[in-house]
């Protein structure tokens, strides 16, 4: 129960604040900027890890959860607690944003501006990067670990934001897509991050020695 609650709260604030910054940026002519969105989201991730890492690990991302199950750090029977918690948090976050920003057209969706297959490759690559950082940083965990992971999130968004949308997180992309009735390109974010995260586990296990 504590794991599910940690994931629900962490994912709620990740979506509410991270996606909210995207909505504000769209509504106010780029006032936040891509760099601002990147930093805001990265900092939120770091803070949630600090606050709820001891509860659930603060994955806030189904791709991270499945990758850690593959690595053996999370029990398979705990998958429902993580995924359900993440889904509840993400959809509550997006629903709250929809109520607050009723004039938003996109609800902060991750919308690729390049060829969808290129966007898919980008999502695989940046999630591979993020997951490798998570694995390497967690292997030598210290007080800086949450901030290193948050920085990796910020870098991923900054590098890919104007191309694939810089999601790296299936549930972060799914919730606004569903509530905005736009599932056309959401497959990119329901596949690419999982592949990238699992590739990172394969590479880490293969070369960690």
pLDDT one-digit tens code per residue, 3-51: 999 999 999 999 999 999 999 999 999 999 999 999 999 999 999 999 9
pLDDT one-digit tens code per residue, 68-94: 999 999 999 999 999 999 999 999 999
Q: Which residues contact 140 (CB under 8 A, 6 or more apart)?
A: none
CB neighbours of residue 7 within 10 Å: 32
Report pLDDT for 207.
85
What CATH code is assigned to 2-207?
A: 1.20.1080.10
Report pLDDT for 208.
75
State yes or no: pLDDT of 146 exceeds 90.
yes
Phi and psi at residue 5, to the nearest 5°: -65, -40
């Amino acid at each position: 129960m504590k794991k599910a609650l940690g994931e629900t709260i962490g994912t709620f604030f990740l979506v509410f604040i991270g996606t909210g910054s995207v909505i504000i940026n769209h509504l106010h002519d780029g006032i936040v900027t891509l760099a601002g969105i990147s930093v805001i989201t990265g900092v939120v991730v770091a803070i949630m890890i600090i606050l709820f890492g001891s509860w659930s690990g603060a994955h806030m991302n189904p791709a991270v959860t499945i990758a850690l199950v593959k690595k053996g750090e999370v029990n398979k029977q705990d998958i429902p607690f993580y995924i359900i918690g993440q889904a509840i948090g993400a959809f509550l976050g997006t629903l709250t944003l929809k109520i607050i920003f009723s004039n938003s057209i996109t609800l902060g969706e991750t919308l690729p501006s390049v060829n969808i297959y290129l966007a898919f490759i980008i999502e695989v690559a940046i999630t591979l990067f993020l997951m490798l950082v998570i694995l390497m940083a967690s292997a030598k965990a210290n007080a800086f670990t949450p901030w290193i992971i948050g920085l990796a999130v910020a870098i991923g968004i900054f590098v890919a934001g104007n191309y694939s949308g810089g999601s790296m997180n299936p549930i972060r992309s799914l919730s606004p897509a569903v509530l905005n009735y736009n599932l056309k390109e959401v497959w990119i974010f329901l596949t690419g991050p999982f592949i990238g995260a699992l590739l990172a586990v394969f590479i880490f296990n293969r070369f960690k020695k």
